[in-house]
């Protein structure tokens, strides 16, 4: 496993982090706790030292599993969590104000609840689970996070940027008020590379690249016939003819597999790691087999400029809200 600096925090984090949404058991249906715990241990055995969870992932269940494993290990594991917006708006809407989404008392209470689920004294990184740059005009959210920092309950501050809107946090990055951002970055959505990543590099803000597999689309396992369990959120993400569209886009990527990346998941992760602004990539993984495949990609080999140039043509603009 190789390590990169998480922006101004100075944390040396594993290039492959552990995305712990799926193990929460809600949204993603079918996680088995025993397998999830084994996957977390396998990841740490392989050198993973960064785990991204959130209070809403199974209403504290993901945090409970993560805390159980972190407390059992002697390695230094960095744990990041997130404060859900009080008004439950994902993504944050243009009219949402700080008192609607992140009043200070809510930030404090949510963080304390996360620490209770994790049974830890301090979070390494606490993130606001949605963000709008308009909220820079009311810094009460920041005062709450700084108080948590002063009280020793969090070490660093971040935000998770709204899906497919990387530039909605550009002013925040330039303000240098935060330490890290989390953003969707994958072969289909390459938009953070345009303005967000250069700004993060310039202002020394760490980058957590989430959804490297486009929720499974970039694993090559989604076909028009794929079904998901009832109430699994992917029924919505891959609704209508989206599965057929994904299969078409994936078919056009298969010709790029070869000595540089033998499988689509490997290509997807290597694409993310190729950008120097990325501090860690967060694949969601619930099984030891997926952990093993994903950690193996952190071997120091970078995709060639030729292959990266070919991948640029595979960016895919979609409307997610139709």
Ligand X SMILES: NC(=O)c1ccc[n+]([C@@H]2O[C@H](COP(=O)([O-])OP(=O)(O)OC[C@H]3O[C@@H](n4cnc5c(N)ncnc54)[C@H](OP(=O)(O)O)[C@@H]3O)[C@@H](O)[C@H]2O)c1
CA pair distance 58, 26, nearest whole angstrom: 5
CB 195, CB 172: distance < 8 Å: no
The site for ligand X, by CB under 6 A, has a size of: 28
Among 294, 298, 303, 314, contact with ligand X (rule: CB under 6 A): 294
210 binds ligand X (CB under 6 A): yes
Interaction of residue 20 with ligand X, rule CB under 6 A: yes
Among 211, 253, 295, 311, binds ligand X (CB under 6 A): 211
Q: Which of residues 94-123 bind ligand X (CB under 6 A)?
A: none
Among the listed ranges 110-118, 144-152, 247-255, 280-288, the one in contact with ligand X (CB under 6 A) is: 280-288
**Interaction of residue 290 with ligand X, rule CB under 6 A:** yes
Only one residue has tokens 């396992």, namely 221
DSSP 5-40: E-GGG--EEESB-EE-SGGGSSSSTT--HHHHHHHH
CB of 229 to ligand X, least distance (A): 12
Our finding on whether 243 is near ligand X (CB under 6 A) is no
Q: How far apart are CA 5 and CA 140, in angstroms?
A: 29
CB of 216 to ligand X, least distance (A): 4
How far from the centroid of its chain's Cα atoms is residue 122's Cα?
Answer: 20
Nearer to ligand X, 144 or 209 (CB): 209
Hey, which residues does 12 pair with through a beta bridge? 5
Contact yes or no for 180/125 (Cβ under 8 A): yes
DSSP classification of residue 274: T
Which range of residues in 13-21, 104-112, 235-243, 298-306 is near ligand X by CB under 6 A?
A: 13-21
Q: Does 52 bind ligand X (CB under 6 A)?
A: yes
Q: Does 261 bind ligand X (CB under 6 A)?
A: no
Pick the stretch among 19-27, 136-144, 147-155, 166-174 that binds ligand X (CB under 6 A): 19-27
- Spatial CA neighbour of 20 closest among 34, 3, 8, 37: 37
Q: How far apart are the C-alpha atoms of 216 and 152, rounded to whole Å?
A: 37
Q: Which residues bind ligand X (CB under 6 A)?
A: 19-22, 52, 82, 129, 160, 182, 210-216, 219, 221, 265, 282-287, 290, 293-294
């Amino acid at each position: 496993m190789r390590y990169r600096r998480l922006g101004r925090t100075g944390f040396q984090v594993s290039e492959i982090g552990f995305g712990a949404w799926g193990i929460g058991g809600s949204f993603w249906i079918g996680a088995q706790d025993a397998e999830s715990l084994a996957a977390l241990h396998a990841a740490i055995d392989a050198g993973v030292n960064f785990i991204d969870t959130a209070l809403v992932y199974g209403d504290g269940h993901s945090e409970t599993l993560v805390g159980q494993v972190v407390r059992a290990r002697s390695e230094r594991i960095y744990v990041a969590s997130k404060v859900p917006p009080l008004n439950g708006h994902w993504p944050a809407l243009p009219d949402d104000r700080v008192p609607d989404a992140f009043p200070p008392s809510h930030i404090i209470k949510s963080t304390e609840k996360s620490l209770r689920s994790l049974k830890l004294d301090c979070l390494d990184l606490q993130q606001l689970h949605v963000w709008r740059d308009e909220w820079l005009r009311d810094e009460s959210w920041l005062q709450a996070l700084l108080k948590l920092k002063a009280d020793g309950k969090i070490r660093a501050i971040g935000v998770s940027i709204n899906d497919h809107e990387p530039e909605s946090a550009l002013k925040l990055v330039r303000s240098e008020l935060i330490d890290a951002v989390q953003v969707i970055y994958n072969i289909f959505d390459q938009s953070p590379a345009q303005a967000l990543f250069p700004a993060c590099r310039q202002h020394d803000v760490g980058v957590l690249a989430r959804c490297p597999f486009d929720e499974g689309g970039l694993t090559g396992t989604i076909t028009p016939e794929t079904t998901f369990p009832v109430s699994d959120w992917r029924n919505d993400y891959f609704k209508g003819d989206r599965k057929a569209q994904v299969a078409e886009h994936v078919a056009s990527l298969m010709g790029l597999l070869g000595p540089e990346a033998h499988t689509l998941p490997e290509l997807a992760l290597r694409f993310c790691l190729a950008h120097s602004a990325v501090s860690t990539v967060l694949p969601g993984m619930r099984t030891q087999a997926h952990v093993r495949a994903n950690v193996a990609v952190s071997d120091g080999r970078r995709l060639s400029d030729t292959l990266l140039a070919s991948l640029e043509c595979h960016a895919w603009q979609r409307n997610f809200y139709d």
